[in-house]
């Protein structure tokens, strides 16, 4: 019997209370596990050693926050956060490519960096326009001008030029300084005339020149042998100057010049002093040197000027004899003093 005032619990009520307590304990355990931090499982490595747990963390970019004061009461306004940019090598290389491309476009298209007509100094017979046409530098970007190539062009196109100097000045100026060879001999063959200076250099007839020794021939001027020509070839100086600051000049040898055979040049010079002035000299492979007599016939003394005075005396005697006889020859040869002869037919 239970004490008075207390009602005994039935067995079924006791069972219900135990079940309710068990359910509440399970619920509390679930709630506790849900709020407790997750335990990272241990990673094991072969060999019995315990490895370091591998924790994968999400990568986040730090953002800079900016706040601006509003009014004088200490209130602030927070601006939107901006990510911190850390440029890599790819971004840097791309920027350099764009920068270099922009610079190239600038130098190619800027009018201030394009060459006007080059200035030509030292020419008298040649036209500046002809020299500029050969150079072909007008409106070219200044950094593309090659002084060596310009010198070679001038030496090939104008053999009468020597001491060629090409200067490139910034921002856009090209100055060409040359010296023209002075012709001393006019060599005419097959309706063509070449000029020859005192050193024997042969070049085309261009422009006008003063009085000179005239030579009529059946062939082009006999040239110096190639080995000798290389030894005495024309040397031209090329200087490449930036910002008008002098640099060491580079020497370039122009081997395109043609030079008369020195023996023939010496013979023509000597013979011109023995005959009347303004007399036209002659030269052929068959008869050698000679001249055209003012009376209309040709005179030849051979390829050698040895015994020139004796040959001239023999020639004078033949002319006196033909004049007495009233004979008009077409050619007189005194190449061989012991066997001179003349011809009547043309």
The band of 22, judged by pLDDT with boundaries at 50, 70 and 90, is confident
Q: What is the pLDDT of residues 83-127, one digit of tens each?
A: 666 777 888 888 889 888 888 887 777 888 889 999 999 999 999
Q: How many Å apart are CA 226 and CA 256, to the nearest integer?
A: 11
Predicted pLDDT at 64: 61
For residue 262, the number of C-alpha atoms closer than 13 Å in the C-beta half-sphere is 6
Q: Which of 81-95, 165-179, 309-323 has the lowest mean pLDDT?
A: 81-95
Q: How many Å apart are CA 220 and CA 196, to the nearest integer?
A: 12
Q: How many Å apart are CA 298 and CA 89, to the nearest integer?
A: 87
53 phi and psi angles, rounded to 5 deg: -60, 135
pLDDT averaged over the chain? 80
Q: How many Å apart are CA 109 and CA 106, to the nearest integer?
A: 5
Predicted pLDDT at 239: 40
Pick 73 or 307 by higher pLDDT.
307
Predicted pLDDT at 82: 64
Average of pLDDT values for 162-178? 93
Q: What is the pLDDT of residues 135-169, one digit of tens each?
A: 999 999 988 899 999 999 999 999 999 999 999 99
Cβ atoms of 308 and 316 closer than 8 Å: no
Task: Find the angle CA(180)-CA(160)-CA(282) to the nearest 5 degrees.
Answer: 115
Predicted pLDDT at 249: 37
pTM greater than 0.75 (yes/no): no
Q: What is the pLDDT of residues 186-227, one digit of tens each?
A: 999 999 999 999 999 999 999 888 889 999 999 999 998 765
Predicted pLDDT at 14: 81
Pick 270 or 51 by higher pLDDT.
270
Beta bridge partners of 185: 196, 213
Residues in Cβ contact with 54 at an 8 Å cutoff, skipping those fewer than 6 apart: 43
Whether the per-residue pLDDT at 36 is higher than 70: the answer is no
Which stretches within the chain are classed as H helix? 11-35, 89-109, 128-135, 147-157, 226-231, 262-272, 308-325
As a dihedral over the C-alpha atoms of residue 202, residue 207, residue 211, residue 213, rounded to 10 degrees, the angle is: 20
Pick 197 or 52 by higher pLDDT.
197
Predicted pLDDT at 230: 45
Q: What is the pLDDT of residues 218-269, one digit of tens each?
A: 999 999 876 555 444 444 444 434 333 333 333 344 456 899 999 999 999 9
User: What share of the chain has pLDDT > 70, as a percent?
Assistant: 73
Pick 28 or 222 by higher pLDDT.
222
Whether the per-residue pLDDT at 51 is higher than 60: the answer is no
Q: How many Å apart are CA 328 and CA 345, to the nearest integer?
A: 10
User: What share of the chain has pLDDT > 90, as a percent?
Assistant: 42
Whether the per-residue pLDDT at 184 is higher than 90: the answer is yes
Q: How many Å apart are CA 214 and CA 58, to the nearest integer?
A: 99
Whether the per-residue pLDDT at 170 is higher than 80: the answer is yes
Fold of 182-226+259-343: Rossmann fold (3.40.50)
The band of 325, judged by pLDDT with boundaries at 50, 70 and 90, is very high
Cβ atoms of 115 and 174 closer than 8 Å: yes
Average of pLDDT values for 167-177? 92
Q: Would you state the structure tokens that stand for residue 254, as one six-digit string? A: 């122009």
């Amino acid at each position: 019997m239970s004490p008075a005032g207390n009602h005994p619990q039935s067995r079924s009520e006791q069972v219900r209370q135990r079940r309710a307590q068990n359910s509440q304990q399970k619920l509390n355990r679930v709630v506790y596990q849900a709020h407790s931090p997750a335990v990272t499982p241990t990673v094991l490595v072969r060999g019995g050693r315990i490895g370091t747990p591998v924790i994968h963390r999400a990568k986040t970019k730090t953002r800079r926050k900016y706040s601006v004061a509003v009014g004088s009461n200490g209130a602030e306004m927070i601006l939107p956060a901006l990510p911190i940019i850390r440029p890599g090598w790819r971004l840097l290389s791309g920027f350099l490519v764009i920068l270099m491309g922009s610079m190239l476009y600038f130098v190619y298209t800027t009018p201030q960096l394009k060459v006007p007509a080059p200035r030509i100094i030292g020419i008298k017979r040649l036209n500046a326009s002809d020299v500029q046409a050969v150079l072909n530098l007008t409106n070219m970007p200044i950094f593309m001008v090659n002084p060596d190539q310009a010198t070679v062009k001038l030496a090939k196109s104008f053999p009468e030029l020597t001491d060629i100097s090409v200067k490139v000045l910034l921002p856009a100026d090209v100055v060409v300084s040359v010296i023209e060879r002075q012709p001393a001999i006019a060599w005419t063959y097959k309706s063509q005339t070449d000029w020859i200076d005192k050193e024997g250099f042969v070049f085309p007839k261009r422009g006008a020149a003063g009085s000179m020794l005239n030579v009529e021939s059946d062939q082009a001027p006999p040239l110096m042998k190639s080995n000798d020509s290389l030894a005495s070839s024309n040397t031209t100086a090329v200087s490449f100057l930036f910002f008008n600051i002098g640099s060491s000049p580079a020497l370039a040898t122009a081997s395109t010049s043609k030079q008369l055979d020195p023996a023939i040049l010496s013979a023509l010079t000597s013979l011109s002093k023995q005959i009347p002035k303004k007399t036209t000299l002659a030269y052929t492979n068959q008869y050698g040197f000679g001249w055209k007599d003012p009376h209309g016939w040709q005179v030849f003394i051979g390829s050698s000027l040895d015994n020139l005075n004796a040959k001239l005396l023999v020639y004078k005697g033949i002319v006196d004899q033909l004049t007495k006889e009233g004979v008009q020859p077409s050619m007189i040869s005194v190449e061989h003093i012991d066997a001179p002869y003349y011809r009547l037919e043309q």
